[in-house]
């Protein structure tokens, strides 16, 4: 068996061809892999670590902390597309192939994350205190007497928890509405236990970070003593990097084609016409600010940008790119980027 020389732990992708190792506190372990105008930042690690069937918790924490710190250091200087922690490869060619196969997806994601940061917000509450406060509220007791036997502890307990759940929803909606006004997007996370009633990440324009901090400070001052906030940021936008290592351009392009209601082959004029038709249909000015319509409008706009990038790559490989009929079949999509990769080499 041939002994492995290196194993690479993938960190992130940046849009540069000349990555400076001075961004990193441990430059001797960092290795950059290029494709066109993209660079994947990796860290060389002991191959034996990657082959362990189960890594010890202490070792995993050290590796995770290093992964996060390296990404943060790079994030201070460049727009990054963070890759999920734990992706390891043995050969540079695997990374080059991934960047080629996912080039449009990566460029689209980097463009969406440019000059943006993530803030993670958690809200904890003391449920016992909440239930006590509700049970002592005179107005609540008056309403409770109308609907249940106040001496029936089972009914009373059930009503208390229902009221607490209603209060929780009101608190969550109020906080999310306030933070949505100072953010671009949000992503809901899992809650580890019942004391965490709110766990959401927000995507913020870097120039709006002070405004987000102010909103968080106001929330802390406005809310009850049984609530406590924890928030972290700015950090790399881990929750807003929709990229899987094995997925390529086809999945993204096919989704964009279907969003614009296009067949598997289309002229550029057809693509533009479909985009204009759908954008006009779901434009905020036409839908009175309907949230679902606005979401569709954003998806349509993103889909057009993705197909526009694909068509540019497609036409550059043809003699008569201007009059091309663009094919969105898997074979054609993959063929375009395989050809590009061969030309670069």
Q: Which of 68, 88, 114 is the last residue of a domain?
A: 114
In a domain, 2, yes or no: no
The pLDDT value given to residue 85: 86
| 11 & 107 share domain | yes
pLDDT, tens digit, 9 for 90 and up, residues 195-205: 899 999 999 99
Whole-angstrom distance, CA of residue 57 vs CA of residue 61: 6
* Short-list 143, 158, 141, 132, CA closest to 224: 132
- pLDDT higher for 5 or 43? 43
Q: What is the pTM of this model?
A: 0.72
| 102 & 129 share domain | no
| 105 & 151 share domain | no
How many structural domains are present in the chain? 3
Q: How far lies 9's CA from each of 3, 12, 216, 324, 343, in Å?
A: 18, 10, 35, 41, 27
- Full domain range(s) for residue 190: 117-239
| 124 & 183 share domain | yes
| 234 & 132 share domain | yes
In a domain, 229, yes or no: yes
CATH code for position 196: 3.30.70
| 323 & 337 share domain | yes
Whole-angstrom distance, CA of residue 40 vs CA of residue 16: 9
Q: CB burial class (10 A; 0-12, 13-18, 19+) of residue 135?
A: middle
pLDDT, tens digit, 9 for 90 and up, residues 302-325: 889 888 878 877 665 544 445 678
Q: Which of 239, 274, 289 is the last residue of a domain?
A: 239
In a domain, 244, yes or no: no
Cα–chain center distance at 157: 40
Residues 6+ apart with CB under 8 A from 301: 279
- 206 with 76: CB under 8 angstroms? no
- The average confidence (pLDDT) of the chain is 81
- 336 with 321: CB under 8 angstroms? no
Q: Which of 57, 88, 114 is the last residue of a domain?
A: 114
The pLDDT value given to residue 271: 92
In a domain, 330, yes or no: yes
| 189 & 86 share domain | no
Which range, of 13-17, 237-241, 285-289, 330-334, averages the lowest pLDDT? 330-334
- 58 with 38: CB under 8 angstroms? no
CATH code for position 323: 1.10.287
In a domain, 1, yes or no: no
In a domain, 127, yes or no: yes
Region 12-36 average pLDDT: 77
| 192 & 132 share domain | yes
Secondary structure letter of residue 222 according to DSSP: H
């Amino acid at each position: 068996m041939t002994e492995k020389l290196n194993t690479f732990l993938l960190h992130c992708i940046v849009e540069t061809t000349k990555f400076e190792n001075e961004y990193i506190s441990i430059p001797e372990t960092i290795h950059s892999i290029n494709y066109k105008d993209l660079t994947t930042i990796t860290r060389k690690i002991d191959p034996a670590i990657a082959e362990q069937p189960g890594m010890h918790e202490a070792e995993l924490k050290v590796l995770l902390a290093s992964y996060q710190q390296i990404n943060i250091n790079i994030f201070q200087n460049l727009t990054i597309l963070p890759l999920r922690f734990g992706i390891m490869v043995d050969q540079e060619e695997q990374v080059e192939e991934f960047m080629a196969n996912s080039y449009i997806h990566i460029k689209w994601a980097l463009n969406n994350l440019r000059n943006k940061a993530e803030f993670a917000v958690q809200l904890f509450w003391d449920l016992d205190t909440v239930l006590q406060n509700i049970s002592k509220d005179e107005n609540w007791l008056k309403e409770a007497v109308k609907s249940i036997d106040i001496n029936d502890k089972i009914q009373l307990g059930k009503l208390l928890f229902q009221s607490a759940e209603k209060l929780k929803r009101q608190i969550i909606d109020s906080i999310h509405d306030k933070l949505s006004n100072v953010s671009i997007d949000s992503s809901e996370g899992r809650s580890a236990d019942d004391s965490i009633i709110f766990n959401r990440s927000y995507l913020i324009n870097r120039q709006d970070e002070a405004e987000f901090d102010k909103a968080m400070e106001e929330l802390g001052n406005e809310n009850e003593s049984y609530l406590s906030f924890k928030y972290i940021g700015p950090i790399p936008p881990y929750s807003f990097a929709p990229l899987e290592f094995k997925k390529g351009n086809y999945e993204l392009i096919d989704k964009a084609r279907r969003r614009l209601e296009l067949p598997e082959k289309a002229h550029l004029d057809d693509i533009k016409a479909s985009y204009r038709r759908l954008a006009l249909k779901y434009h905020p000015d036409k839908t009175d600010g309907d949230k679902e319509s606005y979401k569709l409008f954003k998806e349509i706009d993103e889909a057009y940008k993705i197909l526009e990038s694909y068509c540019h790559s497609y036409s550059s490989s043809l003699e008569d790119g201007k009059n091309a009929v663009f094919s969105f079949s898997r074979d054609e999509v993959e063929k375009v980027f395989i050809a590009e990769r061969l030309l670069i080499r």
